Amino acid sequence: MTHRQYGNRSSAYYAHPSHGDPRIKVLIRIDAIEQSARVNVRGVVTPANIRALYVVCRRVAAKLPGYEIVVDLAHSRVTDDAIEELYEHARRSVMSSGIDDSVTPCRLRIVDPPTILKTKEHV
């Protein structure tokens, strides 16, 4: 993860969290005034790579307790299974580890993707 400072209001982090196909890329923008962290996602989010997104979000929640985490999927495509999982986490206000049953409490909001893919397209 690399860091770039943009004034004193916000900062951004770039991360390439996935190791499998398809890949996702994230850009994290932190707004200290609004106490929010926007995780901009690009690529195709699937059940196979969603754990990488959870790792990024949990790290943000750990580093910035009390901040709202906005997962912005406006520039990505997401499978129907993955979006339902994200909606469930937002509804419960928790972020899964993606590895075990542990969860991290957080304020989570999802910005809908323009395209939701049927899971069968990626099986």
pLDDT tens readout for residues 66-97? 999 999 999 999 999 999 999 999 999 988 87
Half-sphere exposure of residue 84: CA atoms within 13 angstroms, side-chain side: 7
Q: Which amino acid is at 11?
A: S
Say how many C-beta atoms besides its own lie within 10 A of residue 104's C-beta: 19
* CATH number 3.30.750.24 given to 2-122: yes
Looking at residue 32, what is its pLDDT? 96
- Structure tokens given for 88: 């469930």
Closest CA to 119 of 89, 78, 88: 78
Looking at per-residue pLDDT, the higher value among 9 and 96 belongs to 96
Domain positions in the chain: 2-122
Question: Per-residue pLDDT averaged across 102-121, rounded?
Answer: 87
Q: Which tens digit of pLDDT belongs to each residue from 26-45?
A: 999 999 999 999 999 999 99
How far CA 74 is from CA of 42, 44, 77, 85, 111, in Å, comes to 8, 11, 8, 17, 6
Place of tokens 């990505």: 76
